[in-house]
Amino acid sequence: MIQSAQLSYCYPGGLPLHFPDVDVPQGRVVVLSGPSGCGKSTWLALAAGLVQPASGRLTVAGQALATLSGAAADAWRARTIGFLPQKLHLSAALTVAQNLAMAQWAAGQDQDDARIRQALDALDVAGLAQRRPAQLSGGQAQRVALARAVLLAPQVILADEPTASLDDDAASAAVNLLLQTARQQGATLVIATHDGRVAAAIDATPAGTPGYTALWLSRQATGAAP
Amino acid sequence: MKTMALSWRYLWSRPLGAALNVLLLSLGLASITFLLLLSFQLDKAFDKDLAGIDAVVGAKGSPMQLILCGVFHIDVPPGNVPLKAVEALRANPLVAEVVPLSLGDSFQGFRIVGSSHDYVHHYGATFAQGGLWRAPMEVVLGAAAAKKLGLQLGGTFVGSHGLAGGGHMHGEDPYTVVGILQPTGTVIDRLIVTDTASAWKVHEDRHAGHDEHDEDHAADEVKREVTLALVQYKTPLAAMSFPRWVNTNTVMQAASPALEISRLLSMLGLGTDVLRAFAGVLLLTAGLSVFIALLNAVRERRADLALLRMLGAPPGKIAALLLGEALWLGLVSAVIGVAGGQALTLLIGWMLQLSNSLLIGGWVWPVELLWVPALACVVSLAAAVVPTVEAYRVSVLELLQGR
């Protein structure tokens, strides 16, 4: 569940960015798009509780983020947000399983090997647990990164440009994987992208799926680029 | 604890850089360990040899020479003093014990010390074999001397005049070994001890041989000399008046070992200061290298660290991860550094033992050695301060925008 009203953010020395209001129920897919510099990253940072809005109200998974800061925000983010970064950022120093363990460490939880195996298994990469990220193919690495994102059963998954630098088949496979994983978790999925293939891939999913909410950020509306 | 395990993995994910930094830090720490051990061992050796000797009385001259010769047996004697004058010291109410020493002869580089049984008792030496001499020309060997000379009980040898060897051989008067001492860790280990009368006998016989006539022994008695005497006070207050009394009222001088040794150490101090400064420079270099390595590590892993923030790690946890890396570097280096310093000290001790000079060596763990890991941690943590602050401030927005 994500709700926002009159949301804006102001970079130091810059003009404020204004974001359109949203109101999506839990489990919904949101496609966040817009031209470069429209504030996609900023919106993600706001939704993850990493930065405080200049004005307006933002509620994510039942938590009003304006009242959350510092350590409380970190703890909330660990519990609530799963994040799939564009460049995946699997640590080369660690094995696949250890990379997942890092998420538990970051959240201040004890290492739970059974849960790690389960998360890898759900994405069909359990066999790669002892490999280093350098030994994985692009697709495998993305599955591992997704397994890390959903390891702590988040209510919201934020995916940043999941289809960038992928060919058409791989892009639609990546989107399907995201949709499928989010549905299994009952998580709200936010895909930040400027890639039109994402929307097309969601539209192409079998009938009966509820579609997505498009959140278009335009540079004109925001006033200034960061 | 988990954080330490993770920082260990991160540290060794760049094995070459980590090993190089460990090496640099270890070199600095090994030098410091070595200096600490050396000064500790020297102090200990000095203390053991000096124990119970409050003053050394001998011929006028350099007091330092008197101490180096009479206590440590590493310098030549300044000259002789009449036995009567030394015996007269016993009458002084401040004096508890007087041990006369006659020096001047040696055997294969080991000094033959003419003295009384008190000398052996003074160092608390116990016998490995045999016992004390009962007549002149019987000797007791220190542990190191016995081992090096390969002499057994009942073995005989002829001393030579002078301390360097190659002097006149006292061929008519061979010494007989009657006792071999256990190692004591003091100067007596590398001495050959005999009765004071042995020295007189050796030299009077020689003169008698030259002069071809036998004067009565009473005349000899008057002329008899010793080299110096070790004096123990009855009260510490004697240190105030006894040396002055000796210096003004007798033909002899009194030297205070404690005073002369502190003078000697302050002269050596310049050397150890230079070494210490050198070790300091090494450590500083190592600290800078660790600083650069950690800073690079933070910059390389900026995105990884930002991702950890995104996954919910508070900034303090990210900082702890980096400090953990620095701490590991310090601890590993401390272990290697202490081991290296100990090995170097053992090597020096082994080399010094070969040349029969000061007794250094053995496996000691003075409390001061705790400074080494402490210093290692301080240096590595200090080097980590700036990189840690940088890691603490890592911005997740940059990660999101960095495309």
Read off the amino acid at residue B271: G
pLDDT at B73: 87
- Chain B residue with CA closest to A37: the answer is B401
Nearest to B36 by CA among B376, B380, B263, B372: B372
Q: Are B107 and B148 in contact (CB under 8 A)?
A: no
Best probe of the A interface among B311, B317, B325, B403, by most A CBs < 10 A, is B311
Q: Is B317 on the interface with A (CB under 8 A)?
A: yes
pLDDT for the residue A23: 92
Chain B residues touching residue A41 (CB < 8 angstroms):
397, 400-401
CA nearest neighbour of B366 among B25, B44, B28, B30: B44
A170 closest CA partner among A144, A143, A194, A203: A143
Cβ atoms of residues B111 and B74 within 8 Å: no
Does B396 contact A103 at a Cβ distance shorter than 8 Å? no
Question: Is the distance from CB of A93 to CB of A118 less than 8 angstroms?
Answer: no
| B264-276 pLDDT per residue, tens | 888 877 777 888 8
CB-based burial label for B159 (10 Å; 0-12, 13-18, 19+): buried
Tokens (6 digits) for B150: 């390969």
Query: With helix as H, strand as E and coil as C, how does chain B read?
Result: CHHHHHHHHHHCCCHHHHHHHHHHHHHHHHHHHHHHHHHHHHHHHHHHHHCCCCEEEEECCCHHHHHHHHCCCCCCCCCCEEHHHHHHHCCCCCEEEEEEEEEEEEECCEEEEEECHHHHHHCCCCEEEECCCCCCCEEEECHHHHHHHCCCCCCEECCEECCCCCCCECCCCCEEEEEEECCCCCHHHHEEEEEHHHHHHHHHHHHHHHHCCCCCHHHHHHHCEECEEEEEECCCCHHHHHHHHHHHHCCEEEECHHHHHHHHHHHHHHHHHHHHHHHHHHHHHHHHHHHHHHHHHHHHCHHHHHHHHHCCCCHHHHHHHHHHHHHHHHHHHHHHHHHHHHHHHHHHHHHHHHCCCCCCCCCCCCHHHHHHHHHHHHHHHHHHHHHHHHHHCCCHHHHHHCC
- B1 at interface of A, judged by CB pairs closer than 8 A: no
Residues B295 and B385: beta-carbon distance below 8 Å: no
State residue B210's pLDDT score. Answer: 47
- Residue A209 is predicted with a pLDDT of 63
The answer to whether A164 faces chain B, any CB pair under 8 Å, is yes
Give the per-residue pLDDT at B181: 92
The domain made up of A2-90+155-222 has a fold known as Rossmann fold (3.40.50)
pLDDT for A170: 87
Residue B340 has a pLDDT of: 93
CB contact under 8 A, A89 and B399: yes
pLDDT at residue B211, rounded to an integer: 46
Radius of gyration (C-alpha) of chain A in whole angstroms: 17
The confidence score (pLDDT) of residue A223 equals 45
- 8 Å CB contact between B264 and B39: no
In angstroms, the separation between the Cα of residue A24 and the nearest Cα of chain B is 23
Q: Looking at residues B21-30, what average pLDDT do you find?
A: 91
Mean pLDDT of chain A: 87
Give how far A162 is from chain B: nearest CA, Å. 12
The residue extents of the domains of chain B are 2-46+269-401, 55-255
Q: Give the global pTM.
A: 0.74
Evaluate whether ipTM surpasses 0.90. no
B9·A71 Cβ contact <8 A: no
How confident is the model at residue A214, as a pLDDT?
A: 85
The domain ranges of chain A are 2-90+155-222
Rounded CA separation B300/A113 (Å):
28
Q: Is A92 on the interface with B (CB under 8 A)?
A: yes
In this prediction, residue B403 carries a pLDDT of: 45
Burial of B87 (0-12, 13-18, 19+ CB in 10 A): middle
pLDDT of residue A120: 93
- State the average pLDDT over residues A128-140: 92
* Mean pLDDT taken over chain B: 85
Confidence (pLDDT) at A135: 94
pLDDT value of position B212: 43
Q: Which of B224, B203, B274 is nearest to B85 (CA)?
A: B224
- Whose tokens are 């180096």? That residue is B68
Tell me, what's the pLDDT at B358?
56
Q: Is the pLDDT of residue A224 over 60?
A: no
Q: Is A17 helix (H, G, I), strand (E, B) or coil?
A: strand
Nearest CA in chain B to A11: B397
Interface test with B, best of A50, A63, A68, A150 (most B CBs within 10 A): A50
Mean pLDDT of B242-264: 89
Query: Cα(B384)–Cα(B291) distance, rounded to whole angstroms?
Result: 6
CB of B128 closer than 8 Å to CB of B143? yes
B220: confidence class by pLDDT, cuts 50, 70, 90: low
Split at pLDDT 50, 70, 90, the class of B351 is confident
